[in-house]
Structure 1
């Protein structure tokens, strides 16, 4: 990889879902870093139909 490529390389964006106390999705976010709140979990993709519903495959407490 050349120096120019490394210089202009963008950070990898990751996807997160904010879960409420009943483990339902309340918000979706794409960001470089994980949000600080413990209720955010990383998800492989963003799907708007998850809002208000449990995330399929999300770990249970």
Structure 2
């Protein structure tokens, strides 16, 4: 007989945690882009340069999106 897999085997606590981390990172990255768009480019600061780099380096952009 075949063993039927239950709900807990497909959606473990670890996979739900990883999904939450991924979603929080994606939201932070998008917020980073929104903050870049809302910033005036008349004064070039270190934070603006770091945010622009964070568009291409997603973990940096995700953290800067929450700052």
The verdict on a shared fold, with TM-score over 0.5 as the criterion, is no
TM-score computed with the length of structure 1 as normaliser:
0.26
**Structure number having the greater strand percentage:** 1
Task: Choose 1 or 2 for highest CA Rg.
Answer: 2
TM-score computed with the length of structure 2 as normaliser:
0.25
With a CA cutoff of 8 Å and minimum separation of 6, indicate the structure with the bigger relative contact order: 2
**Structure number having the greater helix percentage:** 2
